[in-house]
Amino acid sequence: MKKSILLIAIALLMSFDYATAQKQVVGAKNFEHEFTPLGNTPVGISKLRFRSFNGDGTGAIRVGLWVGGTSVETVTAQPGTSGDPLDADSPELLTTNKTFAFEICPGYEMHFDGTDRLSPYVGAQIVFGTTSDSEEIEIFSRTSFSDDEEQGVWTTTSTDGTSSIGFSLLAGFDYYIHDNIYLGAEMYFGYKGTKIKDGQMEASNLDAYRLYYGIPEDDEVAFDPFINGRSSMWGPMAQGTIRVGVLIN
């Protein structure tokens, strides 16, 4: 229902004949963001973009940007319920998951005459991106081989992520619904390759780690990286977003 209302509102806006509506002008700059009306979060913003038009308004340098992350703490043990052996004074234990994502897309557009309010264009862009994921787990257990009663909290941390690079040809349009305000859409044909980073692990207390997993005190502990792979995709890619932008003259 919300999606239908949003699409109807957009259609009504595009049907109005604003006498002041104009397309990009010489040297105009603009900011825009992308909405996902057909997605699970219709008001979610997927990317921010900046464009700077050339001297006659027929070309534009563009830069798209996405950056964000999450941090989630989960209580995995209540106070007094963890430890080896069980200890009435054991603390609350947490597992913390963090993510980070960054993508930048520099490119160029060539605009055509279109109509008074419609500005179609073609262009190209390069895509660079990276992501990271980490999981930190708190453990309460013995921390000393020489003292059976010495206990404490220590952590294991696992990390991985991806890095990607791509190139795409694109076609789209800007439709000006009012003076310096427009809606738009794009579609792409391109390639994107992604390298999955090797998984890493470390422990904050190696003696506690040995005791917890039954490893002899004199044995070396080495956390070898977990080797991951890569992926790639190419072909046409429709963009399920609506671009909304404002010119800054």
Averaged pLDDT score across all residues of the chain: 84
Q: What is the pLDDT at residue 200? A: 95
Rounded to 5 degrees, φ, ψ at 208 are -65, -40
For residue 225 the two structure tokens come to 């990286």
pLDDT in tens, 152-179: 999 999 999 999 999 999 999 999 988 7
Task: Grade residue 82 by pLDDT with cuts at 50, 70 and 90.
Answer: low
Determine how many CB atoms are found less than 10 A away from the CB of residue 215.
Answer: 14
Which one is predicted more confidently, 38 or 71? 71
Whether 203 contacts 155, CB under 8 Å: yes
Element (H, E) at 162: strand 151-178
Question: CA 72 to CA 77: how far, in whole Å?
Answer: 16
**Count of helix runs (H) and strand runs (E) in the chain:** 2, 10
Which residues, in sequence order, are CB contacts of 210 under 8 Å at separation 6+?
Answer: 145, 216, 217, 219, 221
Which of 103, 101, 106 is CA-nearest to residue 50? 106
DSSP result, 61-98: EEEEEEEEEEEEEEEEE-TTS-TTTT-TTPPPEEEEEE
pLDDT band at 122 (very low <50, low <70, confident <90, very high): very high
Per-residue pLDDT band at 8 (split at 50, 70, 90): very low
| Interval 178-193: pLDDT, tens | 878 888 989 999 999 9
116 vs 196, higher pLDDT: 196
What is the reported pLDDT for 19?
Answer: 47
User: Which range (19-23, 133-137, 173-177, 219-223) has the least confidence?
Assistant: 19-23
Q: Each residue of 19-53: pLDDT tens digit?
A: 455 666 667 888 888 776 665 655 556 678 999 99
pLDDT confidence of residue 116: 83
Which among 42, 33, 36 is positioned nearest to 241, based on CA atoms? 36
pLDDT value at position 22?
Answer: 62
| Residue-by-residue DSSP string for 17-64 | --TT-----TT-EEEEEEE-TTSSSTT-EEEEEEEEE-TTSSEEEEEE
Q: At residue 9, what are phi and psi to the nearest 5 degrees?
A: -60, -40
Specify the range with the lowest mean pLDDT, choosing from 79-83, 108-112, 185-189.
Answer: 79-83
The mean pLDDT value for 189-207 works out to 95
Task: Please give the pLDDT value at position 167.
Answer: 95
The strand pairing partners of 49, in sequence order, are 32, 64
Q: Work out the pLDDT band at 72, boundaries 50, 70, 90.
A: very high
Instruction: Identify the pLDDT of residue 5.
Output: 41
Q: What is the dihedral of CA 139, 145, 149, 152, to 10 degrees?
A: -30
Alpha carbons 52 and 60: distance in angstroms, whole number: 5
